[in-house]
Copies of this chain bind each other. A is one copy, B any other.
Amino acid sequence: MAEPEEITFRSHPLEEYVQMIERFHGHLAPGVLLGGFMVELAYQQLPTEGLFDAISETPTCLPDAIQLLTPCSAGNGWLQVVDSGRFALTIFEKTTGAGVRVHLDADRLTPGSQLSNWFLKLVPKAEQDKAQLIEEIVQAGSRILSFRKVHVDLAGRRQKKGVKTQICPVCRESYPRDHGPRCRHCSGERMYYRDAS
């Protein structure tokens, strides 16, 4: 099998990107490796100049590829997850919404391959050959990806700036005033814990 040459992810060579994944994500996840090809393909289609935001259409794996290879992070607001459930990401110019959406094209997967079995969840994880799967991803690269130019709806995305805060009368913590008279924890809307006894 031919050695894939000059594979880079935003100028990081493959080996370096693999190490970045292991360090940040905890292990070499196939989805984050694939995500690297997706981010790279998106940037190849974007203007070289511009300020770009990113959307991952799944909370799994792709957010980490985006965070490793772009300036967008979960906490700086430039990365957002819009969970359509699809394995796709969009990178777009933040003031115009003009961007590129990349997805994995299931029609291009070889039936019976590790990659097909993994992506379509046809085989339980314990029965997958991880090394072979990684090799197939590297060999396939962007050939299993499709992209299209899109316009992102900015009206629905702009972050609210300057929202006032106030102290919740129940928990005495600060929260955005537009959430209502109590914070979302004390109103029961986002109550994920109880005090330990």
A residues whose Cβ falls under 8 Å from a Cβ of B? 24-26, 29, 31-32, 55-57, 59-65, 67, 71, 73-79, 81-88, 90, 92, 97-99, 101, 103-104, 106-107, 119-121, 124, 148-153, 156-157, 162-165, 167-168, 171-176, 179, 183-185, 190, 192-196
Contacts and interface: CB of A to CB of B under 8 A. Distances in A.
B29 A76 contact: yes
Contacts of A57: 185, 190
Nearest to A97: B193
10 contacts: A57-B190, A59-B77, A64-B76, A67-B67, A83-B190, A84-B184, A84-B190, A86-B173, A92-B193, A107-B172
A55 B136 CA distance: 35
Given A83-B190, A195-B150, A196-B150, A75 B60 contact: yes
Given A85-B184, A150-B195, A174-B120, A32 B75 contact: yes
A193 B56 CA distance: 12
Given A90-B193, A150-B193, 16 more contacts: A24-B67, A25-B73, A56-B75, A61-B75, A64-B73, A65-B75, A83-B190, A84-B183, A84-B190, A86-B168, A86-B174, A99-B193, A104-B173, A120-B165, A150-B195, A153-B193
